[in-house]
Amino acid sequence: MSREDIYRHQNFGQSSGIGARCGLVLVDFVNGFVDEDAFGGPHIAAAVERTGPLLDAFRSRELPIAHTRVVFADDGSQRNVFCMKVPSLSKLTETAAVSQIVPSLAPRPGEHVLRKTSASAFFSTGLSHWLRLRGVDTAVVVGCTTSGCIRATVIDAMQHDFRTVVIEDCVGDRAIEPHEANLFDMRQKYADVMPRDAFISLLAKG
C-alpha cells in the first residue's frame, strides 16, 4: 500500500474544519529566516509575500492576530537545550536585525507580539489563553519553518483543542523535502491544510 492508502485505511486525515472565530498566528517571519545565510530558505520570501493579503483579510475583519519572534537574552542567561542543538539561535536577540519581523508584515498596535525561546508558539508563552480570551477557537498558522516551528506550533494548537488550519503557500522552509513531509504529517493528524485563496473564500463565507 502507498503511504496515503495506509493512512486512509486507518481512518486518518479527516477534516477538523473551521469554528466560530479564527485567529492568525504568524510564526517567526523575521529577517533571519528569509536570509539563506542565517536560518532561511528559498521558499520563505515567497511565503512572506503571499501572507500580506491574508494578514489584510484578518485586519479588515478585526480578527485576533499574533506574531512570534525568537528572542534570547543578550547575556546568555536564557541558553537552553534548543541552543545546544542549534547554537546560532542564540544570535536572535531583542535588538538584532535578524530577529526583527520583516517590514512588510510589521505588527500594528493591538496585535500581540510574543517572544519565544522554543519551537512552538504555544510553549510557555500564554498564546493559548490570549487567543481564547479573544474568542478564538480556530488557529490559522503561517510562517516558517514548515518542518520546525510551524510543525511544533500546529501540534500544540491541536493539543490545546483549537481547530487548526495551515495555509500551505504561506509557510516555507529551508529545504523542500522536509517542507513536503511535514505538510503530509500535519494534514493526516493535526490540521486542515489548504491554499491561501481557498481559506480566504471560506473566511468570506463564514
**Residue 45 interacting with its own copies (CB under 8 A):** no
The single residue among 45, 152, 198, 200 that binds its own copies, judged by CB under 8 A, is 152
Q: Which residues in the 169-198 window bind its own copies by CB under 8 A?
A: 174-175, 177-178, 181-182, 184-185, 188-191
51 touches its own copies by CB under 8 A: no
Interaction of residue 205 with its own copies, rule CB under 8 A: no
Residue that the C-alpha cell 486512509 belongs to = 8
Q: What is the four-CA torsion angle of 142, 23, 49, 112, rounded to 10 degrees?
A: -100
Shortest CB 57 distance to its own copies, Å: 20
φ, ψ dihedrals at 38, nearest 5°: -100, -100
Please, which of residues 114-143 interact with its own copies by CB under 8 A?
A: 117-120, 123-126, 128-130, 132-133, 135, 137
- Residues 6+ away with beta carbon under 8 Å from 195: 167, 168, 169
One-letter amino acid of 103: P
The DSSP call for residue 99 is G
Q: Which one of 21, 45, 59, 160 is in contact with its own copies (CB under 8 A)?
A: 160
Applying CB under 8 A, among 8, 12, 104, 201 the residue interacting with its own copies is 12
- 149 annotated active-site: yes
Give just the sign of the alpha carbon dihedral 170, 17, 22, 132.
negative
Residue found by looking up cell 528559498 in the block = 42
- State which amino acid sits at residue 43: H
**104 closest CA partner among 171, 173, 175, 55:** 55
Q: Could you say which residues in the range 79-108 bind its own copies, by CB under 8 A?
A: 80-82, 84-88
Give the residue with the Cβ less far from its own copies, 73 or 197: 73
Our CB check for its own copies shows the closer of 14 and 60 to be: 14
> Scanning residues 53 to 72, which ones bind its own copies (CB under 8 A)?
none
Which 3 state secondary structure label does DSSP give 89? helix
- Hey, which residues between 13 and 32 contact its own copies (CB under 8 A)? 13-17
Omega before residue 146 within 30° of 0, cis: no
User: How near is the Cβ of 147 to its own copies at its closest, in Å?
Assistant: 5
Size of interface with its own copies, in residues (CB under 8 A): 74
Q: Which residues are catalytic?
A: 149
